[in-house]
Structure 1
Amino acid sequence: MFGRVTLPQMLFAGILGIAGGIYIFQPIFEQYSRDQKELKEKLKLVEESEKKKS
């Protein structure tokens, strides 16, 4: 059985790969989330100022 990979080994490697990808890209996801919150707040402020002008 030399040179073969068993199913548990493949599952373990897959889980490690997914966890590693999440760990590496976590700052990018957090930055995107912050940017979206800022845009939502700015849009809310613009809408409020337009209502006051009307």
Structure 2
Amino acid sequence: MLRYAVVFFVIAMIAAVFGFGGIAAAAAEFAKILFIIFLVLCAVSLIWGLSKDRG
């Protein structure tokens, strides 16, 4: 999932260089959403792993 966030970030940067404002904004927003989802899933798996070690 982090790979998709990076891919959409790169697409947003390329679109920004060429001046496609709407495409760049959409790709950047989608990359941000995917990155937030990745962070949440990472935190959940970390907490889940720590709770499995204790019990």
Shorter chain as normaliser: what TM range?
0.5 to 0.7
Alignment correspondent of 1:16: 19
- Cα shift at 1:22: 1.8
- Any stretches of 5+ residues in structure 2 without a counterpart? 1-16
Q: TM-score, normalised by structure 2?
A: 0.58
Q: Which has the higher helix share?
A: 2
Moved over 6 A (4+): none
How much identity, in percent, do the aligned residues show? 8
The correspondence of residues 1-54 of structure 1 with structure 2, limited to 5 A, is 15-17=18-20, 19-53=21-55
Measure how far apart 1:37 and its partner are: 0.1
How far does residue 25 in structure 1 lie from its aligned partner after superposition? 2.0
Gaps of 5+ in 1: 1-13
Number of equivalences: 39
TM-score normalised by structure 1 residue count: 0.59
